[in-house]
Structure 1
Amino acid sequence: MALLKRINPFSRPNNDTGFGTNANGYGGRFINRDGSYNIRREGRSFMHRFNIYHALLNVPAWQFAVVILLFYFSINLLYSGIYWWLGADQFQGIIGKTAWERFKEIYFFSTETFTTVGYGRVNPVGDGVNVVAAVEAMTGFLSFAVATGLIYGRFSKPRAHLLFSDDALVAPYQDKSALMFRFASYKENQTLNNVEVQVTLGLQVQENGNAVYKFYTLPLERKMVDSLAMNWTVVHPIDEDSPLLGFTAQDMETADVELYVTVRGFNDVYANTVIQRTSYTYQEILFNRKFVPMYRESDNGKTTVLELHHLSKTKEAELR
């Protein structure tokens, strides 16, 4: 109850977050740093819950490339095994003498059939392998149609392309203190317009002897900018209207504080509205630090340099 008394009674909780209040039902953070929700669903079969198309659209590029390569080599290995089982004598043009050399030629015949290249030196003459080759050719062009759709979907998917500071800070601000973090767009020749940010605070309190979560939409110094050409330091003044008034680092740990952030803006490259989320837990909120400037004049004095490697760089704040 002592912690509950620290919360400003004039701060209205936000009951529309989509998260429940039962503290015993949560494990870890609400939102991961990459913006995904920290939720695992159970109660239905894995195949019913899993969406392979959605997964392949969202995995990192290197994982997507590995999946494509593994599928390509594996499906050709499967068909090569079927051809080998039906017999290498059902092909003409094979010049290999050993079993390994003949299998390699059959494998490469499979890749040529799968991709519909068909060089022609090795070709099927038996009915069995001709039927399998026909099925493989159909599998090949259907697979490439799916892969093309996935590649296009990944390239054309609207993204915000934002980098967030590693930590949020509680630092001196004007005649008080403020909670702040910053972010910037990292793509050249791309600017988000009509950018809005919303910051929600989640914390655990004791209410009627039970641990519950309360959520508050934090008032910000500025919640919208016309364009995000440079970095934006988002500031929540900790004043008489703030639910964090009087909180120390220990209070934040006790209350299991988490900030989750939603940024929304119009990306003119994709001609679409984009959204990106992230969150900061109490371990990622530093006290008495402040951000260092992350832009400077170019050496020739003709442009401004945005130093993205300084996005998370801080220094000790002078206490007032």
Structure 2
Amino acid sequence: MALLKRINPFSRQNDDTGFGTNANGYGGRFINRDGSFNIRREGRSFMQRFNIYHALLSVPAWQFALVILLFYFSINLLYTGIYWWIGTEGFQGIIGKTSWEKFKEVFFFSTETFTTVGYGRVNPVGDGVNFVAAIEAMTGFLSFAVATGLIYGRFSKPRAHLLFSDHALIAPYKDKTALMFRFASYKENHTLTNVEVLVTTGFQVQENGEAVYKFYNLALERSKIETLSMNWTVVHPIDENSPFLGFTAQDMEVADAELYVTVRGFNDVYSNTVLQRTSYTYQEIIYNRKFVPMYRESDNGKTTVLELHHLNKTKTVE
């Protein structure tokens, strides 16, 4: 693919992005749509790179619940196997006749010991099973302490709770052309204050016969607002200082253009500063479309309705 050779010389270059300039060292986008960095680390063992605590705080809720359930059943099956290996004669109160019935009773005894419920019909009498039951009880309350900490950490983790439009748009704006995208907070009573947005773009260009990436901060019509109570359409006017000056959709593709966005604000609920990122590649930048309004007056005229399902709704520029 041919490389872009021209960039508006009046654009303000950013050399402090943390990304390298070597175009041959990158694959795909810099930042994923969910805000994570598109980087895979190698050169160290998996256990050196993997952090269980961070992973369990970060995985989706359904995966976290699945891990908890799998751990609970797996650990109880492990202890059931140990009890079975020692022998069921170390218990009293077992009424099952077949091996499967006895196994089930031992398994449920394990769950009752692990959770320290201890209903009482089946109880250990042998030294071996008593010792294992003591270890299992300790394992149980330690496991629940860890699980409680993880659940609290997931619930209390400060988040921005922002939804970004699927596409960025380039369309006429006032007396010029502008690039724009929008976002909104989707949680009730999670209003961000002192909200700032930083938008940077990366281009792949030809320099001294080599393909390199150049990064530019985009000047915004407004980069800070006091309160994000509704949606915010972020606008970058494409003027004489913009790196997009004179760009066509084909130029965007040739330059492998990508916008990456950082939004930072104060969340009153968490009483903490929160941050969220996203990005738009050239495939996600659309020409000659504009956003439609996504708020309206309520039917009784007493409040404003923010229509989040219209976040991505656009129309053709006439």
**TM beyond 0.5:** yes
Q: Distance in 2 between matches of 1:77 and 1:55?
A: 25
Q: Distance in 1 between matches of 2:251 and 2:30?
A: 19
Q: Residue 136 in 1 paired to residue 133 in 2?
A: no
Task: Name the structure 1 match of 2:288.
Answer: 288
Q: Deviations over 1:154-209 (max 9, x none)?
A: 00000000000000000110111100000000011121000000000011001001
Partner of 1:4: helix, strand, or coil? coil
Measure the CA separation in 1 of the matches of 2:27 and 2:3. 24
In structure 2, give the amino acid aligned to 1:95.
Answer: I
CA displacement at 1:131 relative to structure 2: 1.1
In the alignment, which residue of structure 1 is the partner of 2:127? 127
Once residues 284 and 3 of structure 1 are traced to their aligned partners in structure 2, the CA distance between those partners, rounded to angstroms, is 19
Supply the distance in 2 between the matched residues of 1:131 and 1:202 (Cα, whole angstroms): 63
Corresponding residue of 1:38? 38
Give me the whole-angstrom Cα distance separating, in 1, the residues matched to 2:60 and 2:44.
26
In the TM superposition, residue 3 of structure 1 has moved relative to its aligned partner by: 2.5
Can you list the C-alpha shifts for 1:67-91, whole angstroms capped at 9, x where unaligned? 1011001100111011111111111
Cα offset, 1:136, TM superposition: 0.7
Which amino acid in 1 is paired with 2:18? G
CA contact (8 A) 2:3 2:255 kept: no
The residue type equivalent to 1:3 in the other structure is L
| 1:33-64 Cα deviation digits (max 9, x unpaired) | 00000001011100010001000001111111
**Following the alignment from structure 1 to structure 2, what is the Cα–Cα distance between the partners of residues 249 and 142?**
58
- Residue 212 in structure 1 maps to residue 212 in structure 2: yes
User: 1:2 deviation in Å?
Assistant: 7.4
Contact 2:3 / 2:254 at 8 angstroms: preserved in 1? no
2-structure distance, mates of 1:50, 1:155? 22
Q: 1:111-260 alignment to 2 at 5 Å?
A: 111-260=111-260
AA partner of residue 167 (structure 2): D
What per-residue deviation string (whole Å, max 9, x for no partner) do you get for residues 13-42 of structure 1?
A: 101000000000001110000000000101
Q: 1:41-80 residue pairs with structure 2 within 5 A? A: 41-80=41-80
Question: RMSD in angstroms over aligned alpha carbons?
Answer: 0.9
SS of 1:246's equivalent?
coil
Q: Give the Cα–Cα distance (whole angstroms) in 2 for the partners of residues 41 and 282 of structure 1.
A: 26
> Which residue identity lines up with residue 83 of structure 2 in the other structure?
Y
Give percent identity, aligned residues only.
84
Partner of 2:305: 305
| C-alpha deviation, 1:98, in angstroms | 0.9
Worse overlay, 7-16 or 220-229:
7-16
Give the Cα–Cα distance (whole angstroms) in 2 for the partners of residues 317 and 132 of structure 1: 73
Structure 2 partner of 1:21: 21
Give SS of 1:202's match: strand
**Is the 8 Å Cα contact of residues 3 and 211 (structure 2) preserved in structure 1?**
no
Aligned position for 1:267: 267
- After superposition, residues 98-113 of structure 1 pair within 5 angstroms as 98-113=98-113
The AA in structure 1 aligned to 2:166 is: D
Instruction: Tell me by how many angstroms 1:4 deviates.
Output: 2.5
Q: Stretches of 4+ moved more than 6 A in 1?
A: none
In 2, the alpha carbon distance for the partners of 1:259 and 1:229 equals 25
Q: Take 1:96 and 1:23, find their aligned partners in 2: how far apart are those partners?
A: 69
CA distance in 2, matches of 1:183, 1:10: 29
> Equivalent residue for 2:5?
4
In the alignment of these two chains, the number of paired residues is 317
Which residue identity does 2:175 align to in structure 1? D
> In structure 2, the residue corresponding to 1:3 is in which secondary structure?
coil
The answer to whether the 8 A contact 2:3-2:204 is kept is no
The residue type equivalent to 1:234 in the other structure is V
Is 2:193–2:228's contact at 8 Å kept on the other side of the alignment?
yes
Output the amino acid matched with 2:277. R
Q: Tell me the TM-score normalized by structure 2.
A: 0.98
The 3-state SS of whatever aligns with 1:219 is coil
